[in-house]
Amino acid sequence: MIRTATDFSVIWTRAALTDLFAVAGLALLALGLHALHLRLRAKGAAGAFALGKWLAALAALHVLDARILQGSFETPVLLLYGLFLWMAVRALLHDFYADIYMTRIKKRPANKILLNLLSFLAAIVLMGYGLRLILNVDVSSILTSSAILTAVVGFSMQDTIGSLMSGLLIQTEKPFKTGDWIKVGDIEGQVDEITWRYTKLVTGSMSHALIPNNVIAKERLLNHSEPVPQVSVQLTVPTPVGTPPVKVKTALEEVLRKTPLVAEAPTPRVFLAEIGQDQMHYRMLFYVRDLLDTEAARSEVLSGVWYEFKKQGIEFPVSRRMLLTRSKPAIRAAGDALCLMGGIELFKGMRPDELELLAQCAALRSYPPEARIVERGQTGVTMFIIIDGQVSVSLEGRELSRLGPGEVFGEMALLTGEPRQADVTALVPVSCLEIDREAFRGVLEMSPLLVANVTRVFKERESQMQDSSRGEADGSAQGLFERFRRIFW
């Protein structure tokens, strides 16, 4: 039906001025809510505005249709009704329910698959209702006539449909959630996203693994984050048969207590797992807070076991071949180092057994001429004692000093963790004893005299800072000493 200009004039004259103001007001309200939605969307608090703008748009369309158009332009109005209704339902599900209620109030991730399914069903209902009203199409007849086509399409897409159904079951049964560490077959990682077709994992190598949901439904699934969020780690440590179990258990428990990456709860435990002919095996069970820390925690615990065993005098079982092939030059080098260590100010007055323990826990290093031993700005947790040879200490190409046997460098990096302050280069073939932080901590715990020597080192450092103002010198020295306390206590 074609309307003339006279017909339109009749329509507009029938509209009351208040109705026009109502439509304009509701339209402006919808635009204002849309502007607020765009502005606050990044802050996660825009769900109510998103829903409100579509409700305001529906109200404006209703007033326009009922009071002004009065049945004119029926088809475009119905299309707009369907569009606004679907957008309002989508805003209700995704913006209001998911972003506000679930994320901000419940502090839980929303079920994205369920939200997408409800949005899809709402769109299907609105499309069917629109086809019936606008085109007078019987939707039931279309569904009946396309049953064979539906069966063919379903058979050809059975893998995709299987993934979709598996994704819905995963969201319903919740064997894992976003943020959990899981293992599916040979793939292990943290759940980053769960969609209709696949589950996205972030692996330990920081890469994405996309696993179809139907594969997850078929494979063996292991959830490391349930029932407790911490990840369990087991280590086996061998000891000689002659060492009392109470001594070994106490040493291993002390290592677990001091390792930062080991979680306090659930409580770490130590078990005597097996007694053999020449050795016993102890099993250490502990937990870490993040699966990414597993390997680092293993390394820290095993290193701590080695140093604690040295400290407690517990030997590791060795084969006869190792006993027969011990290096005599290395033993002589360690003896030379022991004599030199007694004359170093940092170790002055310490007992021979304490110095011997420190030497046993250290590593003997050899450097050819012109080799750079440490570089300025380099981070490190070790100090060096020169056994043989001579090194040059330089800053920006200018030589500051030369060091020989019995002298040390790098001690402040070990004690405080500060970066290396100068370059150290070998002038001739150099042999050094390298002492790391764990070895130093083990001796520090059993030697009060070493604590006094370290305190004296910091006082000497404070006196060397007197060229600057008094307050800055005191602050710098106190800051270094606080670093030392945080590291070793």
CATH assignment of the domain containing 269: 3.30.70.100
Residue 459, both tokens: 């006082």
Q: Is the dihedral of CA 64, 67, 73, 76 positive or negative?
A: positive
Map 370-413 to HEC letters.
Answer: CCEEECCCCCCCEEEEEEECCEEEEECCEEEEEECCCCEECHHH
Residue 376 sits in the same domain as residue 466: yes
Torsion angle, alpha carbons of 139, 142, 146, 150, to 10? -20
Is 444 part of a structural domain of the chain? yes
Is 133 part of a structural domain of the chain? yes
Residue 216 sits in the same domain as residue 75: no
Q: Of the residues 164, 196, 223, which one is the last residue of a structural domain? A: 223
150: Cβ contacts below 8 Å, ≥ 6 apart:
none
Q: For residue 447, count CB atoms less than 10 angstroms from its CB and return exposed for 0-12, middle for 13-18, buried for 19 or more.
A: buried
Is 244 part of a structural domain of the chain? yes
Is 158 part of a structural domain of the chain? no
Residue 314 sits in the same domain as residue 459: no
What is the CA angle 287-293-295, rounded to 5?
Answer: 95
Residue 238 sits in the same domain as residue 310: yes
Residue 414 sits in the same domain as residue 446: yes
Residue 280 sits in the same domain as residue 347: no
Nearest residue to 229 via CA among 272, 182, 184: 182
* Helix boundaries (H) for 102-231: 112-130, 139-145, 147-156, 158-173, 213-218
Q: How far apart are alpha carbons 122 and 362 in whole angstroms?
A: 71
Is 33 part of a structural domain of the chain? yes
Q: Of the residues 293, 318, 343, which one is the last residue of a structural domain? A: 318
Please count the structural domains in the chain: 4
Rg (CA), the chain: 37
Q: Decide: 412 and 458 in contact? Cβ < 8 Å.
A: no
CATH number at residue 358: 2.60.120.10
Identify any residues that bridge with 190 across adjacent strands, giving them in sequence order: 181, 202
> What per-residue confidence (pLDDT) applies to 297?
93
Q: Which domain holds residue 186?
A: 173-223
Q: How far apart are alpha carbons 433 and 261 in whole angstroms?
A: 28
Q: How far is CA 103 from CA 45, 53, 196, 238, 318, in A?
A: 10, 21, 20, 49, 57
Is 379 part of a structural domain of the chain? yes
Is 93 part of a structural domain of the chain? yes
CATH number at residue 210: 2.30.30.60
Residue 377 sits in the same domain as residue 482: yes
Q: Of the residues 127, 145, 163, which one is the last residue of a structural domain? A: 145
pTM for the whole thing? 0.57
Residue 461 sits in the same domain as residue 334: yes
pLDDT mean for each 10 residues of the chain (489 residues): 50 62 82 79 68 83 77 76 81 78 74 72 75 66 54 53 65 78 88 83 85 83 84 91 89 91 91 89 92 89 91 78 44 62 85 86 88 89 91 91 91 86 93 88 86 82 58 56 75
What is the CA angle 307-272-251, rounded to 5?
Answer: 25
Residue 332 sits in the same domain as residue 474: yes
Residue 336 sits in the same domain as residue 302: no
> What per-residue confidence (pLDDT) applies to 328?
43
Map 209-278 to HEC letters.
Answer: EEEEHHHHHHCCEEECCCCCCCEEEEEEEEEECCCCHHHHHHHHHHHHHHCCCCCCCCCCEEEEEEECCC
Q: Decide: 68 and 20 in contact? Cβ < 8 Å.
A: yes
Find the helix or strand (DSSP H, E) in which 348 lies. Answer: none
Residue 197 sits in the same domain as residue 272: no
| Helices 112-130 and 158-173, packing angle to 10 deg | 120
Is 159 part of a structural domain of the chain? no
> What per-residue confidence (pLDDT) applies to 301?
94
Residue 347 sits in the same domain as residue 484: yes
What is the per-residue burial (b if ≥16 Cβ within 10 Å, else e) of 197-235? bbbbbbeeeeeebebbbbbbbeeeeeebbeeeebbebeb
